Amino acid sequence: MNASDWIGIGVVALVVIGGLLLLNQITKPYGVKTEEEFQQRKQMGARTAGLMGLQQILDPQAKKSVEVQQDLRRGIYDDKEEADDPPEAGRRGTER
């Protein structure tokens, strides 16, 4: 192996190590250090919720999109299903 091979291996190793370190930093939970910081974040969350409510009043499509996102989280994928319907398997589930 010559010098260019070792340089290539070194570059690949640095990229892999850098990626692992970045992934490690991203997955760490955010720690709130002081009570003031907690209150500030809590206030910002309330402000964001208020702006979302205002946007839903001004734009009916925004309200519909929020409802659709909530339905998707609950597992409702089309207008025919209801929240309390059991899942259906096989062909009979698609015929309805």
Q: Is residue 23 part of a domain?
A: no
Question: For residue 88, what are the contacts with CB-CB under 8 A and spacing of at least 6?
Answer: 96
Both tokens of 45, joined, read 């969350």
For residue 12, pLDDT beyond 80: yes
Domain count, the chain: 1
Cα(1)–Cα(83) distance, integer angstroms: 64
Band of residue 93 on the pLDDT scale cut at 50, 70, 90? very low
Q: Is residue 20 part of a domain?
A: no
Q: Is residue 28 part of a domain?
A: no
Band of residue 7 on the pLDDT scale cut at 50, 70, 90? very high
Residue 73's domain comprises 38-80
Q: Is residue 45 part of a domain?
A: yes
Q: Is residue 75 part of a domain?
A: yes
Max Cα distance, the chain (Å): 68
Q: Is residue 73 within 8 Å of residue 67, measured between CB atoms?
A: no
Q: Is residue 87 part of a domain?
A: no
Residue 32: C-alpha distances to residues 26, 37, 72 (Å): 16, 6, 31
